[in-house]
Amino acid sequence: MNRIFEYLLPPQRSTVASEVDSLFTFINVTGFILFMGIMITILIFVIKYRRKSEDDVTPVITHNSILEVTWTVIPIILILIVFSWGFRGFLTLSTPPSNAYEINVTAAAWFWEFRYPDGGTTMNEVYVPVDRPVKFIMRSDDYLHSMYIPDFRVKMDVLPNRYTTAWFEATDTGQSLLFCAEYCGTGHSDMLATVHVLSGNDFEEWLETGLEVDEDMPLAELGEQTFTSAGCNACHTLDGTDRIGPSLAGLFGTDRELDDGSVVEADEDYLRRSLLDPQAEVTAGYPANMPSYAGRLNERQIDGLIAFIKELQDE
Amino acid sequence: MADNKAQTLKIREFPVEENPEHTYLNAEKGIWSWLFTVDHKRIGLLYLFSITLFFFVGGLLALLLRTELLTPAQSIIDADTYNQIFTLHGAIMIFLFIIPSIPAALGNFFLPMMIGAKDVAFPRLNLASWWIYIFGALFALYSIITGAVDTGWTFYTPYSTQTGTSVVSMTFAVFILGFSSILTGINFIVTLHKLRSPGLSWSRMPLFLWSLYATAIIQILATPILAITVLLLAMERILGIGIFDPTMGGDPVLYQHFFWFYSHPAVYIMIVPAFGIISELISTFSRKTIFGYWAIALSSLAIAFIGFLVWGHHMFVSGQSELSSVVFSFLTFFVGVPTGIKIFNWVATMYKGSIDLKTPMLYALSFLFLFTIGGLTGIMIGALSVNVHLHDTYYIVAHFHYVMMGGTVIALLGGLHYWWPKMTGRMYNELWGRITCGIIFVSFNMTFLPQFIMGSQGMPRRYFNYVDQFQGLHQFSTIGSYILGLGFMIMLVYLVWSLFYGPKASSNPWKARSLEWMASSPPAHHNFEYTPVILHGPYDHHQPIREFHMGVAKEADEQTTEAERETT
């Protein structure tokens, strides 16, 4: 039977997972027994009391107090058990330990940004230590989003007007997926991030080196890396097909017709303005919903992206 | 005081006319006699036709969605179209199909007949509510043409106040449709209070009517909240009043409270009438008195009442206070108790019955199977800690469809087959009926069981692209949905066929006991040509059938039998 539940649920990779799963299992097993009881009774009745002739006479049974009290009281007991059990787990889920490692999370259509307490930011990738409580303090830049990591059994909506929090303590190193679970428009199903759970030492080491920008990396290569790490790929393709925004292939140097009718050349300056103040000059035919990257990307990353886009034109 | 004296009401038996020459169907002719009819039976059929149309439209959209989900990336439509289609599927199925389905179609037709009335209390208001419904549907159509809506049927802010699609016309459609629902509710309540025939006490009212009564109360009390909510949403979009907009000090979570304050009771508007149909079917096809009449009748009212107190269980992870979540979870479980009581009562009714597995009964048994799964998975997602994991995943989608389709739609189909001979005067083909019920039952499970598994595994809902591991289950579900669609097409064919070539139905093919079967098939223009008098309960199969044909004898009538009745 364990194999059934292992199949039904994602791997248990946080401290709360086993408690949530045990309640899931309890309700399933109890429910299954109840369900089979009802179905077998129906089956027996259908076979045993099938109509033998049109003149069948049936007894008049209007009620039976003992039976009715029984099937009222037993479900009440069961639901009280389920309620208290779920309540206990919920209490754990909503009380982050005070020593939790805090990461600030910003959700925006359609990417996740993670800011670490010692400075440094990652996008669509989050690095956390194993066996240590981690608390996400979350806010949204625009719509409602919801932070959902199935492997950890945590989910919390992310709101534009106030902080919400969620916490977990990962039990295994490795990677888990983070989904946006609250519908947020076109790119909703692409708003994914990867949670990297590192051992204590690896995490310390990553904090030292991982957040540093490699100053020697060629600009275009840095741009290519930023293209995915900053979540540009959720809306822009590199193969000429339209997604939410225009494809970046062959974009550089072309004339862009804007939604106010004016035409502007896609030069370095235009690309920079589009990153920092995207609503100012929107290409006609595309929605004006790109978030601003001002303060999210450093100068070198912006230069890198421009170099990367330039290079796409040569191919 | 002469009036206070006990009066003697003379009654006699009125034999039912078989193969009637004059029926409500041929009382008047022409399209106008249908579109502007005040006959509750014709209005019921107008609704039946309209909801069938929208059910097929909504179903077609569902098949498009399932086809797109055959592959993890884009298959046939792009993300924006996908988002519009799942919004439309939800909005059409909820507002244009399932809310009016049982009450407005079958309820309209049978509520007056079951109490021996000539019509509902306000026939013109009844016609007006159908026209309001059509007007609302036109608004919905207009919104589809002018750019559709991509917010999901829940219209959550702030997305719904900022998206470029035509949210305002869609919310106005919902606003208008709400009035149709309210008017039907008022009509039913007044009719049940004022127009019952002599002898039809509250304790002799068919359980279908108790369920419609409970539904009507929710319709009247809850629907205005929806109207206010969508009005605020429209004002937010048009005037920017900022009640939900965080940049102006509003709160998007407030919208969710408003929305679910209607929409949770609304799911009981959708399911409670189905309970009523199941009570009728199980008693009739077990040919046995219903077990626990008052328990079933009052549990409908209990569900209607508790249903108003549990809306926050849609919002455990929305950012509402943890304390609210705990209280809402606690209350939520208490909906499970009266629901369980109903299921046990239905099963107990079958004990020592004379069970005949005709098509309507097969649907009733399918209902017990599917709805029990829907109910038990409801307990699962009512549990706080498990809900955190399952909220906004396919588990919710599956649960919702097991309750709404496995529950309401299956009961509607059972009721449709059960009352088909009465409504049309024709019998459908029993063999095809049973085969189709089997197809629908199996393919329904094929479609939605895998969605429970995907949800448990962590597949979020409303996803256009999904991670590869779910592809197998998605494809299985899609194949199931195709077969399900086929099942409905077969049903459409054999039902339409029966209208023209089906054998003529007798007045009471199932030997049921409630009053609508004591009229001819199809009924006369005024249902009964006499005032029915009710001596027994609607499930008293042990009483001789002739005692169910009683009516007030006119003075000129001969061969009167006498019965005494106290009137004041």
Name the average pLDDT for chain B. 93
Q: Do A45 and B253 touch (CB under 8 A)?
A: no
In angstroms, rounded to a whole number, what is the distance separating the alpha carbons of residues B105 and B130?
10
Please, are residues B494 and B432 in contact by the beta-carbon 8 Å criterion?
Answer: yes
User: Which tokens belong to B166?
Assistant: 């035509």
- Element of type H or E holding A122: strand A121-123
Domain ranges of chain A: 1-29+67-212, 219-314
The model's pLDDT over A33-56, given as tens digits with 9 standing for 90+, comes to 999 999 999 999 999 999 999 888
pLDDT of B562 reads 47
Mean pLDDT of B291-316: 94
Best mutation site among B77, B317, B341 for testing chain A: the one with the most A CBs within 10 Å?
A: B317
pLDDT-based confidence at residue A213 (cuts at 50, 70, 90): low
pLDDT digits (tens, 9 = 90+) for B132-143: 999 999 999 999
Counts of helices then strands in chain B (DSSP H, E): 18, 3
The CA-atom distances, in angstroms, between A282 and each of A141, A312, B539 are 19, 21, 69
Residue B59: how many CA atoms within 13 Å on its side-chain side?
Answer: 21
Task: Give me the residues paired with residue B562 across strands.
Answer: B10
Report yes or no: B488 and B260 within 8 Å, Cβ to Cβ: no
Backbone dihedral angles phi then psi of residue A140, each to the nearest 5 degrees = -110, 150
Contact B392 A146 (CB under 8 A): yes
Domain at B33-562: CATH code: 1.20.210.10
Phi-psi region of B300 (alpha: psi -120 to 50; beta: other; left: phi over 0): alpha
Least confident of A199-208, B202-211, B492-501: A199-208
Q: Using alpha carbons only, what angle is made at residue A81 by residues A75 and A84, rounded to the nearest 5 degrees?
A: 135
- What beta strand segments (E) does B18-150 contain? none
To probe the interface with B, which of A84, A141, A151, A183 has the most B CB atoms within 10 Å? A183
CB pairs under 8 A between A and B: 259
Tell me how far apart the alpha carbons of residues B515 and B200 are, in angstroms, rounded to a whole number. Answer: 10
**Nearest 5°: phi and psi at A33?**
-60, -45
Confidence at residue B560, expressed as pLDDT on a 0 to 100 scale = 43
pLDDT of amino acid B555 = 62
- Residue B432 pLDDT greater than 80, yes or no: yes
Residues, chain A: 315
Contact A128, A203 (CB under 8 A): yes
pLDDT value of position A311? 83
Task: Evaluate whether B318 touches B389 at the Cβ level (below 8 Å).
Answer: no
Residues B336, A76 contacting (CB under 8 angstroms): no
Residue-level pLDDT at B1 = 39
Give me the helix-helix angle, B40-68 and B123-145, nearest 10°.
20
Choose among A59, A197, A225: nearest CA to A130. A197
Q: B156 CB contacts (<8 Å, ≥6 apart)?
A: A144, A182, A183, B252, B255, B256, B259
Write out the CATH class of domain A1-29+67-212.
Answer: mainly beta
Q: What is the pLDDT of residues B225-247, one digit of tens each?
A: 999 999 999 999 899 898 998 88
Judge whether residue A172 has pLDDT over 70. Answer: yes
Supply A99's token pair: 């020593």
Residue entry with tokens 């790490």: A229
- Cβ(B71)–Cβ(B463) below 8 Å: no
Kindly list the residues from chain B whose CB atom is less than 8 angstroms away from the CB atom of residue A185.
83, 150, 159, 163
Chain A interface, mutation test: which of B384, B390, B453, most A Cβ atoms within 10 Å?
B384
What band does A261 get if pLDDT is binned at 50, 70 and 90?
A: confident
Q: Specify the length of chain B in residues.
A: 568
Residue B26 scores a pLDDT above 50: yes
Q: What is the DSSP string of chain A?
A: -HHHHHHHS----BTTHHHHHHHHHHHHHHHHHHHHHHHHHHHHHHHHTB---TT---------HHHHHHHHHHHHHHHHHHHHHHHHHHHHHH---TTPEEEEEEEETTEEEEE-TTS-EEESEEEEETTSEEEEEEEESSS-EEEEEGGGTEEEEE-SSS-EEEEEEB-S-EEEEEEE-S--STTGGG--EEEEEE-HHHHHHHHHHTTS--TTS-HHHHHHHHHHHTTGGGT--SSS--SSS---TT-TT-EEEBTTS-EEE--HHHHHHHHHSTTTSPBTTS-S-PPP-TTTS-HHHHHHHHHHHHHHHH-
Write out the DSSP string of A25-42. HHHHHHHHHHHHHHHHHH
Listed residue (B563, B502, B538, B483) closest to B115, CA to CA: B538
Q: How many CB atoms lie within 10 A of CB B301?
A: 16
Identify all chain B residues contacting A89, using CB atoms and an 8 Å cutoff.
384-386
In this complex, the residue of A42, A150, A180 whose CB is nearest that of residue B368 is A42
Least confident of A77-86, A155-164, A259-268: A259-268
- As a whole number, mean pLDDT of residues A260-289 equals 85
Instruction: Give the model's pLDDT for residue B563.
Output: 47
Inter-CA distances, B421 with B432, B516, B540, Å:
15, 11, 22
For residues A87 and A85, give the distance between their C-alpha atoms in angstroms, rounded to a whole number. 5
The pTM of this model reads 0.92
| pLDDT at res. A214 | 67
Bridge partners for B175 per DSSP? none
pLDDT attached to residue B565: 46
Check residue B163 and give its pLDDT: 84
- Please report residues of B whose CB lies closer than 8 A to that of A190: 465
pLDDT at residue B6, as a whole number: 53
The tens digit of pLDDT for each residue in A9-38 reads: 999 999 999 999 999 999 999 999 999 999
Asked whether the beta carbons of A179 and A150 are under 8 A apart, the reply is yes
- Does the pLDDT at position B554 exceed 80? no
b/e map B324-355, b = 16+ CB within 10 Å: ebbebbbbbbbbbbbbbbbbbbbbbbbbebbb
Q: In A, which residues are within 8 Å of B288 by CB distance?
A: 58-59, 61
**Inter-residue contact B545 to B538 (CB < 8 Å):** no
| Number of other residues whose CB lies within 10 A of the CB of residue B546 | 9
Q: What's residue A137's pLDDT? A: 97
A70: closest chain B residue by CA: B341
* pLDDT of residue B345 exceeding 70: yes
CB A113 within 8 A of CB A125: no
Kindly tell me if the per-residue pLDDT of A288 is higher than 80.
Answer: no
Q: What is the largest CA-CA distance in chain B?
A: 84
Cβ distance A160 to B336 less than 8 Å, yes or no, reads no
Residues 6+ apart with CB under 8 A from B36: B127
Of residues B62 and A308, more confidence is placed in B62
Q: Cα torsion for A5, A10, A16, A20, to the nearest 10°?
A: -40
* pLDDT band (50, 70, 90) for residue B331: very high
Distance, CA of B503 to CA of A106 (rounded, Å): 67
| Mean pLDDT computed over B312-339 | 94
Average pLDDT over residues A276-294: 83
- Check residue B553 and give its pLDDT: 84
What is the rounded distance in angstroms from the CA atom of residue B117 to the CA atom of residue A94? 57
Q: Indicate the average pLDDT of chain A.
A: 90
Structure tokens at B400: 């919702």
CA–chain centroid gap for B437, Å, is 18
**Pick from A114-118, A242-246, B343-347, B484-488: least confident:** A242-246
Q: Residues of A with CB below 8 A from B465's CB? A: 189-190
Quickly state the pLDDT bin for A314 (edges 50, 70, 90): low
Q: Which of A88, A153, A164 lies closest to B388 in CB terms?
A: A153
Q: Do A8 and B456 touch (CB under 8 A)?
A: yes
Interface test with B, best of A3, A33, A48, A58 (most B CBs within 10 A): A58
pLDDT > 90: percent of chain B: 86
- B479-501 as b/e, with b when 16 or more CB fall inside 10 Å? bbbeebbebbebbeebbeebeee
For residue A286, name the pLDDT band (cuts at 50, 70, 90). Answer: confident
Residue A315 has pLDDT above 90, yes or no: no
* Cβ B225 vs Cβ B262: under 8 Å: yes
Closest CA to B345 of A30, A64, A40: A64
Domain boundaries, chain B: 33-562
Q: What confidence score (pLDDT) does residue A88 get? A: 95
The residue ranking higher by pLDDT, B330 or A283, is: B330
**Confidence band for A297, pLDDT divided at 50, 70 and 90:** confident
The whole-angstrom separation of Cα B222 and Cα B269 is 10
B287 φ/ψ sector (left φ>0, alpha ψ -120 to 50, else beta): left
Q: Tell me the ipTM for this assembly.
A: 0.91
With beta carbons under 8 A apart, name residues in chain A contacting B538.
none
Mean pLDDT lowest for which of A151-155, A263-267, B94-98, B210-214? A263-267
Which pair of structure tokens corresponds to residue B394? 């396919």
DSSP lists the bridge partners of residue A164 as A138
CATH architecture of the domain formed by A219-314: Orthogonal Bundle (1.10)
Q: Over the stretch B29-83, which tens digit does the pLDDT of each residue have? A: 899 999 999 999 999 999 999 999 999 999 999 999 999 999 998 889 988 899 9
Distance from CA of B148 to the nearest CA of A (A): 13
The minimum CA-CA distance between B175 and chain A, rounded to whole Å, is 23
pLDDT score for A93: 94
Within 8 A of A68 by CB-CB distance, chain B residues are: 292, 295, 341, 344
**Angstrom distance (rounded) from CA A140 to CA A161:** 8
B550-552 β-sheet, strand order: B550-552, B8-13, B561-564
Cβ neighbours for A289, distance < 8 A, ≥ 6 positions apart: A109, A185, A186, A244
Backbone angles phi and psi of A239, in degrees to 5:
-115, 15
